[in-house]
């Protein structure tokens, strides 16, 4: 991918993107990079934290009770939210890619191609250890 053609959104556009808004077509290459780079899971989780943070601050400020109880309640709720964010990590990024105009499955193909060598080595180690160096039936 040509990094000179990849245009990064400014802070306001990134914030809107973090909350789910699509970016204009000129950021299409950046979106693909954002969703397929090595750190894509961390980037997606950061976007999830950005989504939860304003609500968490408001809840901690308006809930009745002692401060430590309010903060712990908000932290607990945010942790549950992060569990859901992790559970739907692939679906969420796939939806972002669809918004940017990429066909379904593009992210998986790019990620699989990026790690093909690692998978081949892992398969070879598995075959050596558990199959006596033979390929599993049905593969060549």
pLDDT tens sequence across 123-137: 888 888 887 766 666
State how many domains the chain has: 1
Using the predicted structure, report yes or no on whether residue 5 has a pLDDT greater than 70.
no
* Residue range of the domain that includes 33: 11-130
Write the CA distances from 33 to 47, 60, 118, 139, integer angstroms.
15, 35, 20, 32
Residue 100 lies in a domain: yes
Using the predicted structure, report yes or no on whether residue 90 has a pLDDT greater than 90.
yes
Using the predicted structure, report yes or no on whether residue 66 has a pLDDT greater than 90.
yes
Using the predicted structure, report yes or no on whether residue 88 has a pLDDT greater than 90.
yes
Residue 42 lies in a domain: yes
**pTM metric for this prediction:** 0.75
Length of the chain: 140
**HSE-CB of 117 using CA atoms within 13 angstroms:** 1
Residue 4 lies in a domain: no
Residue 86 lies in a domain: yes
Residue 135 lies in a domain: no
| DSSP 8-state symbol, 103 | P
With left for phi above 0 and alpha for psi between -120 and 50, is residue 84 left, alpha or beta? alpha
């Amino acid at each position: 991918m040509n990094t000179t053609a990849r245009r990064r959104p400014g802070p306001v556009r990134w914030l809107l993107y973090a909350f789910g808004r699509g970016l204009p077509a000129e950021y299409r290459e950046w979106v693909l990079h954002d969703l397929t780079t090595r750190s894509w899971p961390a980037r997606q989780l950061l976007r999830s934290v950005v989504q939860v943070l304003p609500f968490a601050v408001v809840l901690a400020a308006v809930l009745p009770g002692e401060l430590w109880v309010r903060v712990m309640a908000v932290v607990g709720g945010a942790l549950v939210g992060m569990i859901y964010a992790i559970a739907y990590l692939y679906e969420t990024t796939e939806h972002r890619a669809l918004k940017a105009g990429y066909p379904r499955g593009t992210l998986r193909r790019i990620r699989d191609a990026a790690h093909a060598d690692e998978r081949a080595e892992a398969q070879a180690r598995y075959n050596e250890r558990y199959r006596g160096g033979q390929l599993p039936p049905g593969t060549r």
